[in-house]
Chains A and B, each alone.
Chain A
Amino acid sequence: MYKLLLCTRYLRTRYIALASIISVTLGVATMIVVNSVMAGFGSEMRDRIKGILADIVVETNTLDGVDGYLAHKALIEKVAGGYIAGMTPTVEIYGMLSFQYAGQWVTRPVTLIGIDPESKAEVGPLVDYLQSYQPEREDGKVIRPAERTRDVKPGWALTESAAKYRREWAERQRWFLEQLREEQAQHQGLSERPTGNAAASGNPFDEDLPADDLMLEPTEPGALLPGRIYIGAGLISYLDEDEATGKPRTIMTARPGDDVKISTVTAGRPPEPAHFNATIVDVFKSGMSEYDSSLIFCNLEYLQQIRGMVQPVSGDRAITSIQIKLKDYRDADEVVDRLRAAFPPGMYTIRTWEQKQGPLLAAVDVESAILNVLLFLIITVAGFGILAIFFMIVVEKTRDIGILKALGASSRGVMSIFLSYGLSLGLVGSGAGTIAGLLFVAYINEIETLITKLTGHKVFDERIYYFPSIPTHVNPWMVAWVSFGAIVIAVLASILPARRAAALQPVRALRYE
C-alpha cells in the first residue's frame, strides 16, 4: 500500500524527475511523427507505383515482344485463373517526344506504353490519374468540376472542352494557311494546289509533306490523329513561382487537343527508327514524378502497327508484357510461382510489382530502419538521464528509505517503490509523447504552414514531392511498440537506483543528519 502512495506522491512532488522524462516524451513524439510521415510517404509511393504497374507483371525479355496475347491470356487463366481479377496486354518501348512550345521544339526521352484503356483501368487505378476525371483545384478549392464521371470508361476520345479547343485551333490554322496561299497565289498569279489535298488520306505518313504545319493538318477541323496518347503531366508542364504572390503554379506547355511528334524504333532486327504524330487525349498524373515525367500511354493497336508488331498474314499482334491484377494481393507469391512454372524460362520475367521495384522499396525500408535505430538511441539517452536523476533521488531519499525500513518495509518493498516510480514516469512520459506525436501528425500540415509563415522558408515544397500536403500514415502497432519501448527503457533505467535503495542499511540511512 505504502509503495503506491509514496510512488504517486513522488510523482506529484518531484518535478525534476518529470523534467527528466521530457526527453522520453520528446523521443517518443519524434519517433511517432517520423515513422508516420515516412509511412505516409512510403504508402503513397507504393500506391502510385502499384497504380502504374499492377500486382504482377509478366514481361518478355525482348522489346520485340511475343505474339499471341490471347494464347498467353488463356495459359495464365488456366494456371492461376482463380486468383486473377483482371489482365491487360501492354507494349513497352523507349521513345522520344517532341513538341513545339513558344516557338521552340521541346524534346524529351520517354517510355511509351501501349495500353488498352478499358482493361488497363480494371488492372489499376488509371481513372484516378487521368485529369479529365479529376476536378480542377486551386488552393484546395474546386474551380472546375471533373469533365468526366467515373462511370464513363476511359477511351481515346477528347473531352468536350479539349475537342472545342482543337477545333478552334484547326480553324485558326486553316485560316492562316488560306491567308498564306492567297498571298502565294497573288504572288504567282495562280493557285497550284487545291486546299485540303495534303491531308486527304488517312495516314499522314504516307504523304510527302512540305512542312510540319501541313503535316499536322487534320482532314476536317477538330478530327484526331490515329495516334492517341495520355501524356505524363511532368512532360508537358513545369512549376513556376507566381512573381506577384510567390505561389507555385503549374505552367502547361501542351494540353489535350494538341499534337506531338513521337520517335521510337520498330520491332525486328535490326530495329528501324519510326516516327509518328499523336494527339494528346488526356494528361495523367500519378504523383510519382519519375513516372509523370517519363511515361506516355499510347493506344496499343496503333503502337503495334507503327512498330511492325502485327503479323502480316495472321494479323496476330505482339505484346511485351501482361499486367495482372489479383483478387487478393496476398496470393501474389503463389501466383508468381505458378506462372514461372508454366512459362518457358529465359523468355519471360515474372515479378510482383514489389519485386520489380525491389531496390527502391528496400532503400526506403533500410532508411526507415536506420532512422528508427537512431531515434531509439535518443530514447536510450533519455533513459540514462532517468538513471542519473533517480540516483539523485535515492540519495536524497536515503533517510526516508531508512525510516521505511525501520517501520518494517522490506528491501523488495523499497525496490518496488522506485521501480514503480520508474514505471509510472515511463507511462507518463510515453503517454504524453504519444499524445503529442499523434497531435503533431494530425495537424502536421497546419504546423507546416505556420512554420513556413514564421520562417518565410518553405518547409514542404510541393515542387519536390508532388504532394499537395504531407502524407501521414499512423500504424497503431508502431505507436504501441514505441511507447512500450520507452516504458521498458524507463523501467530498466530505474533498476539500478532501485537496487541501490533496496541495499541501503537502515542504520546507515538514518545516521545521516
Chain B
Amino acid sequence: MTATLVPQMQTSRESIVLPPPQLSAVAIEKAYRKGSHQVPVLRGVDITLRKGELVSIIGQSGSGKSTLLHLIGLLDTPDVGEVLLDGQRIDDLPARTRDEIRNRVFGFVFQFYHLLPELNLMENVLSPLMIRHSVWSYWQRRREFQDRAKEILQKVGLSHRLTHRPSELSGGEMQRAAIARSLVARPDVLLADEPTGNLDAGTGQEIIDLLHKLNDQEQLTILMVTHDPLIAEQAHRTVKLCEGRIQLVKEAA
C-alpha cells in the first residue's frame, strides 16, 4: 500500500524519494464491551500518514472511524496493534508520557467544538499551553503566548472575539476557535473528528478551506474524519472504513 502513496505535496516528480511515514497505525483492533459481550469496532486497520499529508477517513456511523482517530491520538489504547510516531511505538507508553505527546504532537478538533464554557475565547485557545507549562513558567512567558494566540486567532479570522465566551459565538466561529486552540501548541499532526459535522454546508466549507490553507502553508499533517463524501474528496487521500476494516483507499485526482 505504501508504495503507491506519493503525497501530493511532493510535486517534484523527478526524485521519487518517499519521506518516512510520520505517523502510522499498524493492525489496530479495538472492541468495546457492551454488557456481557464484546462489540468489535476495529478489526485490523493499517494507516500511514506522511509529513504534510491531508488524509480523510470516511465511513458510516459506527464504522469505527472516530475510534481509529482516538486511538491514533492516544485518547484510547488499542487491544491489538501499534501506533508509531516517527517509527517509535507510542501507544504503550506510560500515561504521563502519552499525555505529554497528546499535548505536544497532536492537535484535536472535534465535531462539537468542545470549548470550555467557563473560559473566554483567548483562554480557551491558550489552554494547551497552560496545560503544558507550570504556573510560574507560564506567567513568565505569558506575553509571548498571548501574542502567539492572537496571531493564530487572526489567522482563523477571530481576532475581534478575544474576550467572548463560547456561548456567545456561532458554530463556525467556535470551530475556528477550536482549530486555533489545536494550533497554538504547534502540533505536528492535526486530528479532526468531523469538523464540519455540526455546521451548515457553507460554514463547513469555510472550515475545510481553512484546514487546506493550513496544510498548504504550514505543511501541517492532517487526519480528518468525515461522513461527507464531498469534503472527503478534497483530501489528498481518502480512506474508507466499513465495519472496522479499510475498504478502499482513494488518491485524489
Contacts and interface: CB of A to CB of B under 8 A. Distances in A.
Interface string B199-241: 0000000000000000000000000000000000000000000
Contacts of A4: 135
Interface residues of A, number: 26
A177 to B, nearest CB: 96
Given A6-B116, A399-B114, A510-B110, A408 B76 contact: no
B75 A408 contact: no
B195 interface: no
Interface in B123-157: 123, 127-135, 138-139
A507 B76 CA distance: 7
B73 A406 contact: yes
Nearest to A403: B114
Nearest to B129: A1
Interface in B188-202: none
B102 A407 contact: yes
Contacts of A1: 129-131, 133-135, 138-139
A152 to B, nearest CB: 69
B102 A408 contact: yes
A507 B70 contact: yes
A10 interface: yes
A183 B244 CA distance: 134
A10 B134 CA distance: 20
B62 to A, nearest CB: 13
- Interface bracket on B: 35 or more
A404 B75 contact: no
A404 B119 contact: no
Contacts of A433: none
B131 A406 contact: no
Interface string B91-108: 000011001111110001
Interface string A41-53: 0000000000000
A409 B112 contact: no
B14 interface: no
Interface in A487-513: 505-507, 510, 513
B130 A411 contact: no
Contacts of A5: 119, 123, 130
Determine chain B's interface SS by DSSP, over half rule.
helix
Contact of B118 (A13, A410, A513): A13
A407 B75 contact: no
A413 interface: yes
B104 A408 contact: yes
A505 B77 CA distance: 10
B114 A413 contact: no
B118 A407 contact: no
A404 B131 contact: yes
Query: Which of A1, A5, A6, A403 has the most chain B CB atoms inside 10 A of its CB?
Result: A1
Given A407-B128, A506-B76, A510-B75, 19 more contacts: A1-B130, A1-B131, A1-B135, A1-B138, A2-B131, A6-B116, A9-B119, A13-B118, A400-B117, A403-B114, A403-B115, A406-B73, A406-B114, A407-B185, A408-B128, A409-B103, A410-B96, A413-B131, A507-B70
Interface of A: 1-2, 4-6, 9-10, 13, 399-400, 402-411, 413, 505-507, 510, 513
Interface of B: 67, 70, 73, 75-76, 95-96, 99-104, 108, 110, 112, 114-119, 123, 127-135, 138-139, 181, 185
10 smallest CB-CB distances across A and B, nearest first, come from A408-B103, A2-B130, A1-B130, A9-B118, A1-B138, A408-B102, A410-B99, A507-B76, A403-B114, A506-B75
